[in-house]
Amino acid sequence: MQQRTPIEEQIDLPFVESLRISFQSLKIRFGRSIITTAGITLGIAFLVSVWTNNEIGIALQESGRQSTINTFEETTEQGISTKDIWLIIMSLIVCVVGIANSMLMAVTERFREIGTMKCLGALDGFVVRLFLLESGFQGFSGALIGALVGTLGAVLLGLKDYGLDLFFYFPLLPANPEDGPMQLGVIIIILLGCILGMILAVIGSSFPAWRAAKLPPAEAMRTEV
Amino acid sequence: MADIVVKTEDVVKEYRMGSNILRALDGINIEINRGEYISLMGPSGSGKSTLFNMIGALDRPTEGRVYIDGQNMSQLSQKQIAAFRCHRVGYIFQSYNLLHVRSAHGNVTLPMIFAGISEKQRNEKAEQLLDMVGLGDRMYHLPDELSGGQRQRVAIARALANDPSIVLADEPTANLDTITGREIIDLIKRLNTEQGVTVISATHDLKMLDVSDRIVDIRDGLVERIRNRDEIEIEVGEVGGAGH
Ligand SMILES: Nc1ncnc2c1ncn2[C@@H]1O[C@H](COP(=O)(O)OP(=O)(O)OP(=O)(O)O)[C@@H](O)[C@H]1O
Ligand SMILES: [Mg+2]
């Protein structure tokens, strides 16, 4: 049996080509992309609204105003109550689990597609890059909308509790730590929400995509969802 | 001396399920010549698809070696395997495996994108291939908008995108009616005779018998026998005679 031309190495795809494929994929799967993105939006909106709501409460109590309904709460001198800390931690967990789940589902239904692309000559790295780009975009837009919606929700709640006073004492910027309990301010919370949403979306998508890309294509293509 | 394009040596594939080990291939030795049309036949569960995956580098054998063009596949790097799948082999599956987010045209261009072919060239090639399989007027339809037979034609066009020397087909007609199946078989046979592509097809479909050069009967993960064309023709005659 004679040796033919040796098998060359597969080339790496230029970045623009990956970008184009990922956007096309988001566009055609628009309905499905929206649902996945909505999962991110919900998680971040919940977290940001709880957190912002909490900061609004502290800021207005600092100012000496009293909530019309929350007067009986055992707020410590330091401002933030254990109950509030738990609420924020719980909402963080809900957010992490919700986003990870929604990304994982979106990738799992595409195992067959991953296997097929590998049959056509895709490198593992290309598959991962594709999911990185798609989820990065979904994560950023979903989290930004979520953060804005969450802030809006907290503001509406604050208006209900404190009336227009809210706007005089609105904790937009970080408070001076010497003045009292740690307060990040709404701008930082929005920013953190966006970053968190994006990181969670990217990890939640790329990690399973990487696992699927490492599988032999025959196995990846067997999965039926 | 015949030019051997695929050779398997004692290929064993075991699937582990919990504590059970299932031996899907139990030492397969076959040699396939360049330009041949080979059908792998055998009852369901006999190991046809498993062998198909070994030959196409879609999975690794547990033991044994697969040589393609004299190259031991287990010695290739990741990047070489990707290039092998991209350039040397065209795959056709029972369930078409088209990317449903890409049009017929987009499916056919994808392997050429992976091969680094310029946009202009790949568009031309895709149009030419889709024309050849009779889908010149359906190029920009999504797979969901095509019939089963049309989807399989797209898959065939896609398999040919980078001029492979081997086409691997796993039950390409199993989801199609008799007439459409016949058309697909004729199309694959045409590639074989006109372009000299080596065709290796797993199948249950008796229509495949009379286009095959050789038939490899697989049973329980072993090669039961290999029949040549002349032996097949007699049998097809008998089958035909008994049917009338
Ligand atoms: N990934 C897997 N995990 C476990 N067992 C498997 C796997 N793939 C195949 N098998 C088993 O290996 C054996 C051979 O399967 P294979 O798919 O090769 O059969 P086949 O000849 O292609 O059958 P069919 O004609 O139904 O397609 C079967 O018993 C099957 O259950
Ligand atoms: Mg099979």
CB contact under 8 A, A118 and B114: no
The radius of gyration of chain A from alpha carbons, rounded to an integer in Å, stands at 23
Lowest mean per-residue pLDDT among A57-61, A95-99, A154-158, B80-84: A57-61
Which residue did the predictor score with more confidence, A72 or B49?
B49
B15 CB less than 6 Å from ligand 1? yes
Judge whether A204 lies within some domain. Answer: yes
Q: Which residues, in sequence order, are bridge partners of residue B71?
A: B68
Q: Is A223 on the interface with B (CB under 8 A)?
A: no
- Report which DSSP code applies to B75: G
| Mean pLDDT of chain A, nearest integer | 83
Provide the pLDDT confidence category of residue A28 given band limits of 50, 70 and 90: confident
B44 CB less than 6 Å from ligand 1? yes
Q: Which residue has the tokens 């963080």?
A: A92
Nearest-angstrom CA–CA distance, A184 and A191: 11
pLDDT recorded at residue A54: 83
Count CB atoms within 10 A of the CB of residue A98. Answer: 19
What are the two backbone dihedrals, phi and then psi, of residue B119, each rounded to the nearest 5 degrees? -60, -45
Q: Which domains, and CATH codes, for chain B?
A: 1-76+198-244 (3.40.50.300)
Report the atom number in ligand 1 closest to the C-alpha of B204.
Answer: 25
The percent of residues above 90 in pLDDT, for chain A, comes to 34
B46 CB less than 6 Å from ligand 1? yes
Measured by CA distance, the residue closest to atom 29 of ligand 1 is B45
Count CB atoms within 10 A of the CB of residue A182. Answer: 12
In a 10 Å sphere around its CB, with 0-12 CB exposed, 13-18 middle and 19+ buried, how is residue A64 labelled?
A: exposed
CB contact under 8 A, B69 and A3: yes
Q: Does A103 have pLDDT greater than 70?
A: yes
Can you give the three-state secondary structure of chain A, one letter per residue? CCCCCCCCCCCCCCHHHHHHHHHHHHHHCHHHHHHHHHHHHHHHHHHHHHHHHHHHHHHHHHCCCCCCCHHHCCCCCCCCCHHHHHHHHHHHHHHHHHHHHHHHHHHHCCHHHHHHHHHCCCCHHHHHHHHHHHHHHHHHHHHHHHHHHHHHHHHHHHHHHHCCHHHHCCCCCCCCHHHCCCCCCHHHHHHHHHHHHHHHHHHHHHHHHHHHHHCCHHHHHHCCC
CB contact under 8 A, B71 and A21: no
Provide the pLDDT confidence category of residue B1 given band limits of 50, 70 and 90: low
Provide the pLDDT confidence category of residue A225 given band limits of 50, 70 and 90: low
B47 CB less than 6 Å from ligand 1? yes
Judge whether A116 lies within some domain. Answer: yes
Percent helix, strand and coil across chain B, each to the nearest 5: 40, 30, 30
- Report which DSSP code applies to B67: E
Structure tokens at B67: 């040589």
Nearest-angstrom CA–CA distance, A8 and B79: 8
Nearest-angstrom CA–CA distance, A179 and A176: 6
Closest CA to B7 of A4, A220, A217, A9: A4
Q: Does A74 have pLDDT greater than 50?
A: no
Measured by CA distance, the residue closest to atom 16 of ligand 1 is B47
Structure tokens at A116: 């097929």
What SS3 class is residue B20?
strand
Ligand 1, residues B13, B15, B94, B201: which to mutate, most atoms within 8 A of Cβ?
Answer: B15
Judge whether A184 lies within some domain. Answer: yes
A107-118 pLDDT, tens digit each = 898 999 999 999
Give the dihedral sign, CA B225/B230/B234/B236.
positive
Q: Does A70 have pLDDT greater than 60?
A: no
Nearest-angstrom CA–CA distance, B122 and B173: 28
- What distance in Å separates residue A26's CA from the closest CA in chain B? 9
Provide the pLDDT confidence category of residue B231 given band limits of 50, 70 and 90: confident
Interface of A with B in 80-139 (CB under 8 A): 112-113, 115-124, 126
pLDDT recorded at residue A76: 45
B167-183 pLDDT, tens digit each = 999 999 998 899 999 99
pLDDT recorded at residue B238: 57
Closest CA to B192 of B169, B162, B220: B169
Please report which residue ranges of B3-147 form alpha helices under DSSP H. 48-55, 78-87, 104-114, 119-132
Highest mean pLDDT among A41-50, A80-89, A170-179, B56-65: B56-65
Average of per-residue pLDDT across B184-201? 93
Q: Which amino acid is at B155?
A: A
Which among B59, B83, B116 is the nearest to A7, CB-wise?
A: B83
Nearest-angstrom CA–CA distance, A111 and A220: 5
Q: Which ligand is nearest to the CA of B43?
A: 1
Measured by CA distance, the residue closest to atom 17 of ligand 1 is B49
Judge whether A176 lies within some domain. Answer: yes
In terms of residue numbers, what domain contains A195?
32-63+79-218
Give the dihedral sign, CA A112/A115/A120/A122.
positive
Report the atom number in ligand 1 closest to the C-alpha of B42.
Answer: 21
pLDDT recorded at residue A61: 75
- What distance in Å separates residue A80's CA from the closest CA in chain B? 50
pLDDT recorded at residue A64: 66
Judge whether A223 lies within some domain. Answer: no
B24 CB less than 6 Å from ligand 1? yes
Measured by CA distance, the residue closest to atom 27 of ligand 1 is B44
pLDDT recorded at residue B244: 42
> Burial letters for B83-95: b for 16+ Cβ neighbours within 10 Å, e otherwise?
bbbbbbbbbbbbb
Q: Is B162 on the interface with A (CB under 8 A)?
A: yes
B53 CB less than 6 Å from ligand 1? no
B12-64 pLDDT, tens digit each = 999 998 899 999 999 999 999 999 999 999 999 999 999 999 999 999 999 99
B210-222 pLDDT, tens digit each = 899 999 999 999 9
Q: Is B94 on the interface with A (CB under 8 A)?
A: no
- The answer to whether A12 touches A125, Cβ cutoff 8 Å, is yes
Q: Does A72 have pLDDT greater than 50?
A: no
Ligand 1, residues B12, B22, B203: which to mutate, most atoms within 8 A of Cβ?
Answer: B22
Judge whether A118 lies within some domain. Answer: yes
- Report which DSSP code applies to B92: E
CB contact under 8 A, A124 and B78: yes
pLDDT recorded at residue A176: 66
Nearest-angstrom CA–CA distance, B33 and A12: 32
Provide the pLDDT confidence category of residue B235 given band limits of 50, 70 and 90: low
Residue B110 with chain A: CB contacts under 8 Å: 117, 120
Q: Which residues, in sequence order, are bridge partners of residue B15?
A: B22
Give the dihedral sign, CA A77/A79/A85/A86.
positive
Judge whether A72 lies within some domain. Answer: no
* Cα angle B183-B91-B220, degrees, rounded to a multiple of 5: 95
B106 CB less than 6 Å from ligand 1? no
The percent of residues above 70 in pLDDT, for chain A, comes to 85
Q: Does B243 have pLDDT greater than 50?
A: no
* Cα angle B191-A11-B116, degrees, rounded to a multiple of 5: 55
Q: Does B85 have pLDDT greater than 50?
A: yes
- Please count the structural domains in chain A: 1
CA B76 to mean position of chain CA atoms: 21
